[in-house]
Structure 1
Amino acid sequence: MPVIPADLTVQGGRLTTAELGQRLLSGQTLVADSAEQRLQVVGVLESYGAVLDAYSTNLIFQAERQFLNPFPLLKYLDGDPSPARIWRNLRHDRINYEYAEYCMKTMLWHGTGGLDGYLDSTDFAAGCAGIIAAKLRRDPLLALLHPLFPGFLPELIRAAATTHALGQFWRVMSDLFLALAVEEREGRIGTMAAVVEYIRQGLVQASAAPITYAVELGGQRHWVLPPEAGLSFLMDVAVPYVEAVFLRGTPFFGTVSFNAQAQQIAPDQARFAYGALYADPLPTMGAGIPPSLLMHDMARHLPETLHRWYDQHGRGEGDIHVNICRSFQKAMFCVTEAAIQGTMPHGLACSEASQQAANQAYASAWAERLAVARTDCLTESHWVRPNPALA
């Protein structure tokens, strides 16, 4: 079982393991269906889609244009080092790409799924050797450093591969979330079940899309993630992303101190439970705190309908980041549910006993993990009250 720190905030009762398993097997959505719930989920996914568009562009730029650059000082400029762009960055009038890097490092560190398996393979090591040899012929500084620190450049290549793969994953998810918002506005999506089904279909349609990555060095193309590796979108990147970011995560500085000696941090990474589905909705807006960085970005891209709803509930702008965080948690449960449904061993309508048993075991395993997550956010929005200043 995961090591769960004590909740700092409580919104209401949690669903039991049995209730979660029943919902997953019956096709009933984890997030309760209502107009307000759909407004929050679809609206926050629309803003998230806009942010992921920027994250994806920057991660792919870093992986392709800042490859093996030990001092990537301009990595957040997306290739636009104009004085105006640099000034905006210095004033922090920009997207917080640090959150995207946090997710990449979390995936790289937890190392689950087919992508990590390939990064540990002899084929990847051989590819790294060829890339490093080509790079050292043109970079005297790295040629001096590599014999002293032979593990440094291979690790940079592993990070670049994870960066590019995450950028490809977020490219698909950005398009999916923005298209979902259009479908909902045009009246083609009117229930929470339809929201989950739309996301599930998008994941399934992209499931077999190949994940590849190559770099140009001295006019020659070198494969980092070649087509022969057979990496695909769903099982090799999407599922490991859910495992690393939604479930495991990492304890981050800034809000809560954990005592590792008192076993408040599990020695086993598989038991980590600091991801988005377990997190307390406390974006303090302190520098460097991952959820705060993301909520700040999403606040800049909120659709007007959701922004107006936040203004009319709670304390308006005073706690908008906390409200975004809570809505985002609901949305991530929807995405997780869609991923579970998309990877279920058999269709929910199957009739054979062996297939039903396989589905039961799969749903039970997920239900056990989700039962200790923040399922108190799945019910109606009782945590908000009409803003008395606007009543």
Structure 2
Amino acid sequence: MDATHHAHLVLQRLPRAGASARARLVEHFGSAQRVLEQSAPDLAPWLEAEAREALADYQDHLSRSALGEQVQRDRDWLAQHPDVQLLALEEDAYPPLLKEIRRAPPLLYVRGDLTALSLPQLAVVGSRNPSTGGRDNARQFSAFLAARGFAITSGLALGVDGFAHAGALDAEGVTLGVMGTGIDRVYPARHRRLADQMLAQGGALISEFPLGLGPQASHFPQRNRIISGLCGGTLVVEAALKSGSLITARFALQQNREVFAIPGSIHNPLARGCHRLIREGATLVETARDIVEQLGGYLGYQGELFADESAASELPGLNDEERAVVKALGYDPQDLDSLAQHSNLDVGTLSAHLVGLQLKGVVSETASGFVRVASGSG
């Protein structure tokens, strides 16, 4: 381990010294190593007394200090896990877009392929309890975008995050997970297999938190600035008005990145956050192609590869009666009786068509009734 990484590990283990304080120190003194050379009085404007005392003890006793012993444990763990690498803010390999944000994380732990961080990335975020349509959109939009060259970046959380990662994997694309825990912890635990699949397919897991740190509520808004900071744009699939996804979107706006939002039913509370973002200037998107067209320069993707599809191909593989059922269904849930009235079909005939449409993946049955599954893919 080089001196730069060691210095950052020391600073990271200082008590009561968060990422913002450490970023200010590195910015002011030029490097983590230079920070360690400063006397405790010189650091008074940036560090609280407890942190200054711990650093002074380290400067006097090095590996025999409490701070030195903890850093040695971190180094031992890293030596035993060569798949985890450190990236310091001063290094050329540090993601350039992330380096641009205010108070960029001074130190990143990266498990997986470092080159994944240099790919053009799009953040896909949303509710942890999405609707059926939200799940489908997250997965299908992500698959489409991953197939066109975007790495899909999200937070490895339940809900939209997990479906976004899965969609990228469906398309044999690359996906990155930014964690709200130490790199040695996967949260939630049920996503361990998903995390393994992401790594096996050339992706990466990223954390700015110390080893061994478990999930805490304050970590996730902090994590969100990294999600948006790594990416040229952020897509919000579904979000309530009070949502961590809106925090990510606002970080993206502050970082001068593009924000996209998928509109939804006015009756869906999970659409209200997206609608607010659209009113505030986010780009309304109906298909994943809308995003590729807007971020074409960022991606370096040639637009002529997208052949325009006619409106008639919107529902391929359906007969005329099935198309009529889908048209009558619209975009809000309907029960069987309401749909029979709107489609002018008897209940028996309608039921048979609905079974066929569910098998074709066009319609889904939920507790609220039958709903149309958005294609999402373009």
Q: Which has the higher helix share?
A: 1
The structure whose residues are more often strand, as a share, is 2
TM-score bucket (shorter structure): under 0.3
Question: Higher relative contact order at CA 8 Å, sep ≥6: structure 1 or structure 2?
Answer: 1
Larger Rg: 2
